A and B are shown apart, each in its own frame.
Chain A
Amino acid sequence: MNRIIILLSLLINFMDSDNRSDQVITRQGQVSFFSYTSVENIEAKNNQVLSIVDFSKNEIAISMLMNAFVFKKSLMHEHFNESYIESDLYPKATFQGSIIDFDPLAEGIQTKMVKGTLTIRDITKEVEIKTSIENIDGTYLITGDFEVIVKDFEIKIPPILAPNIAKNISIKFRFEYQPYEK
């Protein structure tokens, strides 16, 4: 009788793991950036960032529309899209990378490095980002921050506006994932 119960529970576990998706998704990830200078502070948020994590390979992919960043002032939005990012020519920014030494089955918070490539304006740079990953009953929350150097992405800022824009831009992100049912 005991053997039958053990066998049944193993089978149920196997079926369960077979049905469990290895991928999680968010369509409403949040990415914010901040530029702090003595002249002015510029801040923008994008709340419609797409990200998929594949736990079978611990790979992460992120994609966002540059024109979906919301600024406090319309002039900032205009400069960002038309002059700096040129979002008509380069509408998306993407990131592809791997979460190093991550155990998706461990509950609670893990601090891990994510290594990968960030592409803005068709220019790709290697980045390494310290992230906090929280597993709450199979839903995952990934948060973190890092800096990008404006010059790395060949963003041209007119000399008259140079004092208004920081040379290093702080980026913050927050992704709350759900199982991805294809």
Chain B
Amino acid sequence: MNQESLSQIFINACLVNNFVLAYFLGICPFLGVSGKLGTATKMGGAVMFVMLISSICAYGIHALLVAVDAEFLQLISYIVVIASTVQLVEMFIKKMSPALFKALGIFLPLITTNCAILGLALFQTNKGYDFIQSIVYALGAGAGFTLALVLIAGFREQLEYAEVPKVIRGTILTLVIAGIMSLTFMGFSGLGTQ
């Protein structure tokens, strides 16, 4: 059981322990699609959406596995259920709202293997969050992911026009910016304490 307040969970997941900058989860899309501000925003939205869904799924699976005393199947069932849920959601959105599908479409399959999603499911189980706490945790983590992605995309767009030595362009430059951002985000630490 965990007695953290909801606002504490949100702030922790979003700022203090930002998934990208403190736990290094979801680094692949972070390095990959953080070049353009527009794409970064959409990607962030898609991740937040999938996080919310997989958080609910993970909560259900965990309850089920505990009930039948088969917790050793946790990892394998999380990954299978999350992957297939994303697939179902993708088909559902395609049917129901082609416009939304167009906006998110390309990113949904990419997200399945995003470690932030599985990480979220595992962390919420480890921390023993209840249903509402899990949802708030997912929202916080998603918001934090989007924030980090959008911020770094902004930096990178500006740096396009800067004269940077050729050898550090691309990944290296992004990593250095991420490092500095990670230091900056440390300033948020202690927000949750009285």
Q: Do A and B come from one complex?
A: no
Which residues of A pack against B, CB within 8 Å? none
Which residues of B pack against A, CB within 8 Å? none
